[in-house]
């Protein structure tokens, strides 16, 4: 885990000019060896740092760290609805948010982390991220409804992510399902040509009849290195490859929170049904052959037909409709098959 000092030092470093270790040590009231150790942590986390005797330290390339003040300024009126906190390093923003929720944290709290040491994805998978290369955060939302009435929430959140990315320059055509544009993959992925750019992890606590505490975790690939892509067990892309002018991470987080508040307010009133048409318009696998993988290891070949009002995926298996829920299956495009 990185020392907190490392994040402070990175704010002081420039990619254009060297700054001496002595000057940094004096500013923070630490030894020069403490400065060296902290910046070694940053290097181990993937940040390129040049070090020269008698000159000091310089970044190999610019890096933008998250800044609460910049995020709040970009939020506009939404700043009244959310409380943003930036953490230097944490095991998992979802895990920490759930701990705070149990302790009584209010809805609307958002935790963003520069570095996750144990980021989690759906069905126990790891979420790979790197300092400055990803955006990982969790938002707490409280519903009066029980968990049974929150079907389709992960789909609605995915739609909010898609809308935020499109608003900031990602290619997308409403209703066309253009493979070159950003799309959705049931139940919780945002993709481009099958490569994952973002994912959603929803975790809940409460009674089936309500109220329900919901932690919404979102991870977005912003500017992945080739080495990091190699560690991901599926095709991945990032915002920098998708946008001609990639947005800053601070602006991206602010826009995501704005979109989330909008859809969560509507979802609270209507559920998934009012989002169904818009979500289906962007479903990358709509009408396509897929392989449905069940938790017990079995699988069936199917064709994606529709999404139900509760967010369940409707597929055709040998001509018969089958409703599947997010907790039961994984979905993969069928290999070597095309729709007839």
Average pLDDT, stretch 198-211? 89
Residue 16 reports pLDDT greater than 50:
yes
d(CA 335, CA 340): 14
Q: What is the mean pLDDT of residues 310-329?
A: 87
DSSP letter for 173, please.
Answer: -
Q: Is residue 339 part of a domain?
A: no
Q: Do 52 and 84 reside in the same domain of the chain?
A: no
Give the pLDDT confidence score for residue 62 in this predicted structure: 85
Same domain, 52 and 96: no
- Residue ending a domain, among 13, 37, 59, is 59
Same domain, 85 and 134: yes
In angstroms, the CA 290 to CA 287 distance is 9
* Token pair for 212: 């329900």
Within this chain, do residues 10 and 118 fall inside the same structural domain, yes or no?
A: no
**Domain boundary, last residue among 18, 41, 59:** 59
Residue 122 pLDDT > 70, yes or no?
Answer: no
Q: Is residue 257 part of a domain?
A: yes
CA–CA dist 253, 29 (Å, integer): 33
- 294 with 267, same domain: the answer is no
For the chain, how big is the Rg over CA atoms in Å? Answer: 21
Q: Is 188 helix (H, G, I), strand (E, B) or coil?
A: coil
Helix 249-270 and helix 153-167: axis angle, to 10°? 140
Q: Is residue 162 predicted with pLDDT exceeding 60?
A: yes
What percent of the chain lies above the pLDDT cut of 90? 60
> Using an 8 Å Cβ cutoff, are 66 and 253 in contact?
yes
Domain containing residue 308: 289-333
Q: Is the residue at 91 inside a domain?
A: yes
187 and 79 belong to one structural domain: yes
Same domain for 257 and 293? no
Which range of 114-123, 170-179, 180-189, 306-315 scores highest in mean pLDDT? It is 306-315
Across residues 295-307, what is the average pLDDT? 89
Write b or e for each residue in 221-237: b if 16 or more Cβ atoms lie within 10 A of its Cβ, otherwise e. bbbbeeebeeebeeebb
Residue 253: pLDDT over 70:
yes
What is the pLDDT, as a whole number, of residue 338?
43
91 lies in the same domain as 50: no
- Number of domain units in the chain: 3
Highest mean pLDDT among 27-36, 232-241, 289-298: 27-36
Find how far residue 124's CA is from the centre of its chain: 16
Q: Domain check: are 139 and 232 in the same one?
A: yes
What pLDDT was estimated at residue 314?
Answer: 95
Any domain includes 338: no
Q: Are residues 76 and 54 in the same domain?
A: no
Q: Residue 326's pLDDT is what?
A: 72
Kindly indicate the confidence band of residue 327, based on its pLDDT and cuts at 50, 70 and 90.
low
Dump pLDDT digits (tens) for 213-250: 999 999 999 988 776 777 777 888 999 888 888 899 99
């Amino acid at each position: 885990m990185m020392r907190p000092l490392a994040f402070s030092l990175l704010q002081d470093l420039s990619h254009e000019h060297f700054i001496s270790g002595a000057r940094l040590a004096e500013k923070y009231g630490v030894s020069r060896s403490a400065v060296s150790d902290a910046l070694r942590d940053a290097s181990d986390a993937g940040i390129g740092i040049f070090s020269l005797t008698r000159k000091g330290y310089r970044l190999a390339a610019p890096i933008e760290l998250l800044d609460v003040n910049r995020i709040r300024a970009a939020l506009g009126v939404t700043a009244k609805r959310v409380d943003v906190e930036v953490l230097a390093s944490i095991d998992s923003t979802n895990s920490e948010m759930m701990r705070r929720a149990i302790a009584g944290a209010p809805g609307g709290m958002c935790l963003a982390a520069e570095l996750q040491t144990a980021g989690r994805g759906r069905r126990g998978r790891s979420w790979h991220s790197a300092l400055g290369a990803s955006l990982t955060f969790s938002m707490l939302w409280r519903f009066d409804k029980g968990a049974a009435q929150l079907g389709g929430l992960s789909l609605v959140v995915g739609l909010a992510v898609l809308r935020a990315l499109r608003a900031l320059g990602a290619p997308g055509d409403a209703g066309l399902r253009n493979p070159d544009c950003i799309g959705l993959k049931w139940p919780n992925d945002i993709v481009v040509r099958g490569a994952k750019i973002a994912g959603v992890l929803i975790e809940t606590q409460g009674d089936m009849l309500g109220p329900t505490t919901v932690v919404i975790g979102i991870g977005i690939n912003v500017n992945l290195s080739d080495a990091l892509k190699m560690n991901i067990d599926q095709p991945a892309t990032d915002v920098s490859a998708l946008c001609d002018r990639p947005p800053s991470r601070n602006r991206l987080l602010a826009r995501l929170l704005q979109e989330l508040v909008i859809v969560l307010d509507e979802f609270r009133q209507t559920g998934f049904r009012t989002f169904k048409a818009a979500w289906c318009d962007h479903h990358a696998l709509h009408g396509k052959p897929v392989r449905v993988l069940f938790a017990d290891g079995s699988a069936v070949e199917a064709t994606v037909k529709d999404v139900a009002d509760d967010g369940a995926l409707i597929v055709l298996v040998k001509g018969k409709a089958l409703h599947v829920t997010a907790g039961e299956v994984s979905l993969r495009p069928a290999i070597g098959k095309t729709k007839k």
